[in-house]
A = this chain, B = another copy of it.
Amino acid sequence: MNVLEELKKFREMDIPYSRVLSSMCTVSHEIAIKAHQLFINTNLGDPGIFPGTVELEKRLIEMIGELLHCKTPFGYICSGGTEANIQGIRSARNIKTKNKPNIVIPKTAHFSFEKICDILRIEVRRADVDESYKVEVGEVESLIDENTVAIVGIAGTTELGQIDPIVELSKLAEEKDIPLHIDAAFGGLVIPFMDKPYPFDFINKGVTSITIDPHKMGMATIPAGGIVFRDEKFLKSLEVETPYLTSRMQFTLTGTRPGTGVASAYAVLRALGFSGMREIVKQCLKNTKILVEEMSQLGFEPVIKPVMNVVAFRSENAEDLKSELYRRRWVISTIRNPKAMRFVIMPHVTEEVIKYFISELKEVMK
């Protein structure tokens, strides 16, 4: 057997996206794949060799800046939301220079903040959420002290797709003069395209950095995360010198860095435009509604009325249902508190996929 045949065998063991209802990644857009091919050997870690790819990244960041109400954005395309969150918090830590730094995040924050706390040696304080799973701003305030280097708000929580009261968090951040980092890894490319977009971004003066991942709802190829700062000083605080490269300084977390994510993310946003993205988001929200209706007929109620294309349904048997579905090669996920089945209605989760899934779920429930 030749090597490619062997690889195909491994690849066939993977579960196709058409049976995955819980991933925040999706099948890359056709144009993303084509763009990716053109940039497969590029390395943004050595920018002097790739001035064209560097320029493309600059334009992409400007496009993202426009979307996020920031005229002069400073940022880059990275390995994903975790790197983006690390860099957001690291820059705040570096600028605020406290001996025993802490950050205040919502209890609903992504588990990557656990890593960040370990990696950056920062204390993480978790603020409680209200009954709609939005962070309690009063709780955040009470956890802040003189060693707090950042506040985190989430625009599209991983579990429920909820959006924190970022307008209020921003006021608090301004008042206390503490950087406010927004984790919009998922929601950053959903919310701006909704009918009534919640103001989660740089339109709030207190927001200093935003994580926004094109390889999630941006349908770019992996890896394509994004971190954007309002102020250059944050990016500067991450710099180290780079002898023997074509650059002088490097602010990225990684060194070698593919240009594929830049090209594929740019291609999707350029080809679809903001209006095309609106259509995609509209369809995902419509399909989310369809899922809610179908699940309701089976007796499952959502934990909160879906804010975006993420939804969880209460079920005491969530773990068992997940396991049995997985045995049948369907992937959903669960949350623990409250016990629920969790879904992300990405572009590959079509009405057809939902109907097929529901028929399988009925079988499982028998």
Contacts and interface: CB of A to CB of B under 8 A. Distances in A.
Contacts of A27: 41
A223 B52 contact: no
A10 B56 contact: yes
B4 A17 contact: no
Given A7-B35, A49-B331, A244 B40 contact: no
B52 A38 contact: no
A161 to B, nearest CB: 12
Contacts of A52: 9-14
A201 interface: no
A48 interface: yes
A209 interface: no
A258 B27 CA distance: 13
A241 B111 contact: yes
Contacts of A336: 243
A300 interface: no
Nearest to A45: B80
Contacts of A8: 38
Interface in A20-56: 20, 22-23, 25, 27-28, 31, 33-36, 38-43, 45-46, 48-53, 55-56
19 contacts: A7-B35, A11-B52, A28-B40, A41-B221, A41-B222, A79-B223, A79-B254, A79-B256, A79-B257, A80-B255, A82-B255, A114-B241, A119-B119, A121-B121, A158-B244, A213-B256, A223-B223, A223-B254, A245-B333
